[in-house]
Structure 1
């Protein structure tokens, strides 16, 4: 396989800041109309159109469009999904503002709600996409345990990486067309957003449909610090796969060790480039649900 299309500058830690992203946040207890009104107030924008069936569009002060759409997969009498425009790393502060505003407006989360982070896939080639798959596949059980993925969502909407997909990918993943065929399990035919293969924690259907790697592992939350940490984690996974000179990830899944899971996840975060004071809050938010020690002797 060839190397990454576009080497990310400055090592993994700095490369995290060069990737564009989007985020979808599923929310209970607020209708799409109320969500749109809340987003508009938070981003200094205005509602520019829409309806209760198709959702509402909000134009922010930078002429970017946020949307609030109906999501029937969410349990509750009223529900909606916040869909951001394409954002840059410096926009994380605005994401936090929106999340805080939704919480203050009465938004809630439950076991049916999730968060999806989309990372621009234009810099990936077959080699770097394979590395991303290996990275998630090897650490899938640790990610599931550390992020406390709800069993209902894990079985339905964010399944683990399929071992047969990995085998197909390793056998023929020399080009992005090969990656595509390996993902779908046969020669590619036209797919769309609703293709059933999308229901994986690492969703590559989104790569071929809209040009983004989608990470669906995250339980929904209206804690702005945790939402920001989720985005940073998704960006770090992508940046690690795209960065040249890093040791390739072994294909075999890593055993989950419950007694040392907090330590192991901290080591994983550091390996992804989430190190130093800048990412201390992200590490703290991601490690908080885990018991035991994150440093020191095992």
Structure 2
């Protein structure tokens, strides 16, 4: 498939996003969104409903005279977008920037969940997606700086038994995949959550730390779109963890293979390799008189 056709397909996927935060109340957050959308019901110009919900898992905080205090449940905020398209990312970024200006910030355990519409996914492409996650799992954990408490509780690794089962057995239908998932996994608290798919909410990627850096949020969305698109365009993915000798170089090359190359995605690549060791330009930087970056 030509690069431009692949990119068109990647960008054609619809997505939704949940962003957890605190330091302002839900009422304050809703007022910010109302001001951006110019609608008291938080309905945008396309007739789509935005929302801010409560989430008991969020550690609620408030700041008074620069000092941080524990806060009540009204400060537990989760912004839930409607189904969006690639062209809506600037609108989402504007809302994120406005929330930040209003005082919104994250606390420990806050995450971002990206949902990708999966109408065109097949049992084989979903198997590919799970295998891709297994291949790059350790690198993804480091690249996205997933803390241990979130990793163990809210976005765990792919189950090895699940990977073995889906690759050992013939999976012909999504229902068969769901049955295997229920036996081998049985929870939504995974970096790659397919329970969301069974609930008609698309593929959910839960691995992102919450942030009000609008460019970083775009990178999370673009990465999710690219990963899901790549899974649909591969005939088979070998379920084997890759050995890494130069994290930055290998992750950058993988991002290129996902379609995130060229000037359009230069900032995305910069954000996504930020916390990795090595050299992004050369597999063996020592051969070019370069030192490996150590993070």
Same fold (TM over 0.5): yes
Normalised-by-shorter TM-score class: 0.7 to 0.9
- Once residues 9 and 294 of structure 1 are traced to their aligned partners in structure 2, the CA distance between those partners, rounded to angstroms, is 22
Q: Deviations over 1:20-75 (max 9, x none)?
A: 000000011122211111111123332x3xxxxxxxxx212221100100111011
Residue 9 (structure 1) shift: 9.4
Residue 278 (structure 1) shift: 0.9
What is residue 227 of structure 2 aligned with on the other side?
Answer: 237
Check conservation: 2:12, 2:86, Cα contact below 8 A. Answer: yes
Is it true that 1:217 corresponds to 2:214 in the alignment? Answer: no
What is residue 295 of structure 1 aligned with on the other side?
Answer: 281
- Once residues 8 and 124 of structure 1 are traced to their aligned partners in structure 2, the CA distance between those partners, rounded to angstroms, is 20
What is residue 258 of structure 2 aligned with on the other side?
Answer: 272
- Once residues 220 and 96 of structure 1 are traced to their aligned partners in structure 2, the CA distance between those partners, rounded to angstroms, is 14
SS in 2 for 1:198: coil
Instruction: Give the counterpart of 1:135 among 132, 139, 146.
Output: 132
RCO greater where, 1 or 2, for CA within 8 Å and sep 6 or more? Answer: 1
Residue 203 (structure 1) shift: 0.3
Residue 282 (structure 1) shift: 0.9
- Once residues 30 and 256 of structure 1 are traced to their aligned partners in structure 2, the CA distance between those partners, rounded to angstroms, is 42
Q: More deviation in 25-34 or 84-93?
A: 25-34
Q: CA RMSD in A?
A: 1.9
- Once residues 148 and 219 of structure 2 are traced to their aligned partners in structure 1, the CA distance between those partners, rounded to angstroms, is 21
What is residue 292 of structure 2 aligned with on the other side?
Answer: none
Which runs of 5 or more residues in structure 2 are unaligned?
Answer: 61-70, 285-295
SS in 2 for 1:185: helix
- Once residues 227 and 199 of structure 2 are traced to their aligned partners in structure 1, the CA distance between those partners, rounded to angstroms, is 21
Residue 281 (structure 1) shift: 1.4
- Once residues 282 and 3 of structure 2 are traced to their aligned partners in structure 1, the CA distance between those partners, rounded to angstroms, is 32
Residue 292 (structure 1) shift: 3.3
Check conservation: 1:236, 1:274, Cα contact below 8 A. Answer: yes
Instruction: Give the counterpart of 1:176 among 174, 192, 197.
Output: 174
What is residue 94 of structure 1 aligned with on the other side?
Answer: 91
Tell which structure's C-alpha radius of gyration is larger: 2
What is residue 189 of structure 1 aligned with on the other side?
Answer: none
Which runs of 5 or more residues in structure 1 are unaligned?
Answer: 1-6, 49-57, 187-194
Residue 289 (structure 1) shift: 2.6
What is residue 70 of structure 1 aligned with on the other side?
Answer: 54
- Once residues 268 and 10 of structure 2 are traced to their aligned partners in structure 1, the CA distance between those partners, rounded to angstroms, is 13
- Once residues 225 and 213 of structure 2 are traced to their aligned partners in structure 1, the CA distance between those partners, rounded to angstroms, is 19
Q: Deviations over 1:123-143 (max 9, x none)?
A: 111011111111111111111
**For this pair of structures, how many residues does the alignment match?**
270
Check conservation: 1:114, 1:219, Cα contact below 8 A. Answer: yes
- Once residues 173 and 243 of structure 2 are traced to their aligned partners in structure 1, the CA distance between those partners, rounded to angstroms, is 30
Relative to structure 1, is the Cα distance of residues 256 and 153 closer, same or farther in structure 2, using a 3 angstrom cutoff? farther
What is residue 167 of structure 1 aligned with on the other side?
Answer: 164
Instruction: Give the counterpart of 2:20 among 17, 26, 30.
Output: 26
SS in 2 for 1:197: coil
Residue 117 (structure 1) shift: 0.2
TM superposition score normalised by structure 2: 0.87
Residue 14 (structure 1) shift: 2.8
Q: Deviations over 1:53-106 (max 9, x none)?
A: xxxxx2122211001001110112222000000000010111111111111111
